Amino acid sequence: MLAPVILAASRSDKMRRFVSAAPGTKQVVERFIPGETVDQVVPVVVDAVDKGLEVTLDVVGEDITTPEQAAAARDAYLELIDRLKDLGLGTKAEMSVKLSMFGQALEDGHELALANVRPVVEAAAAIGTTVTLDAEDHTTLDSMFAIHDELRKDFPQTGCVIQAYLFRTEDDAHRLAANGSRVRIVKGAYKEPAEVAYQDKSEIDKAYVRITRILMEGSGYPMIGSHDPRLIAISQELARRAGRKLDEYEFQMLYGIRTEEHVRLAAEGHRMRVYTAYGTDWYGYFMRRLAEKPANLIFFARSTLTK
Ligand code: FDA
């Protein structure tokens, strides 16, 4: 019941100002977003790799409104990649990007987003790593997949995300489960209408399993993005039945969520990648984390009220 309200608030400027100014917000935000700067996130990356984990780094931000902001987003990723260069981690530290942060919703946004993301993908390839295109709301996906296709012509390792809650996704999975393509499957984090998406949790879970089977049986590289213990166990079984070795797929979870499970899966020999977001424009990312688990909202309200 609460999730749609929180997701609607995640797009409201008034709520953004209110939440950002609330006492106690910072403390709750830090659970999910370990820093605001490259300097703060680099030690987090090093620590994760020391523990046998891998990371995908997200400079938080989305729905920007000017081409200058889109260029600034590109430059923030280029700065990050420049810092990662010295660490020599290769694909242990990859990047995740939201095309709305690269200008996708602006005039001629498709071309603008492609022009801004290409140098990031090039720079990542130059240090031996990759970029994955996050999936945002359903209206943006045709453009995201077209940009993914375009980038893969020169950088076939470029990944993308598909969302189990969308009716379209099984078809997308069939198309993408080929030629070594790297595909992250997630449940989906946006507020989507009943015309395009399952609304019922159990329907979403069933779709997740069907789509994971398609990915596991294909010739791409599946990335299982979930904290759901049942779906993780089912994915392991689907991988086994498809004859995949442990390095022929990976698990991914978000920083700050089920942390002990990150380490457990890595210790079992799985590739385990932690999605680590950092930066100052954390509002949209943070609100989606609140929507995923209403208990987070209670924690947030408590820490705000006790300040
Ligand atoms: P589910 O929501 O059922 O959670 C299972 C369990 O995990 C919960 O019972 C709880 O214990 C724990 N948990 C989950 N979320 C939590 C939270 N916020 N706080 C505390 N505990 C929590 N979505 C999208 O639309 N586009 C994208 O590009 C991505 N990218 C992405 C990358 C990665 C690596 C992950 C893991 C997830 C995404 N997502 C995403 C988000 C995704 O769509 C989904 O909203 C969340 O992963 C939550 O769904 P689960 O599969 O974890 O199951």
One-letter identity of residue 77: Y
Nearest CA to ligand 1 atom 21: 257
How far, in Å, are 30, 94, 130, 252 from residue 272 at the CA level?
Answer: 21, 12, 16, 6
Are 15 and 9 spatial neighbours (Cβ–Cβ below 8 Å)?
yes
Give the model's pLDDT for residue 52: 97
**Over pLDDT 70: what percentage of the chain?**
98
According to DSSP, the residues that pair with 95 across neighbouring strands are 57, 131
Are 285 and 33 spatial neighbours (Cβ–Cβ below 8 Å)?
yes
CATH tag, 2-16+49-301? 3.20.20.220
- 152 is an annotated ligand-binding site residue: no
- ipTM of the assembly? 0.98
Tokens of 290: 């609140």
- 245 is an annotated ligand-binding site residue: no
One-letter identity of residue 170: E
Among 131, 160, 186, 196, residue to substitute to test ligand 1 (most atoms within 8 Å of Cβ):
186
Give this prediction's pTM: 0.96
Give the model's pLDDT for residue 306: 65
Residue 215 to residue 207: CA distance in whole angstroms: 12
CA of 292 to the centre of ligand 1 (A): 7
Residue 94 to residue 67: CA distance in whole angstroms: 25
Checking if the pLDDT of 299 tops 80, the result is no
Are 70 and 116 spatial neighbours (Cβ–Cβ below 8 Å)?
yes
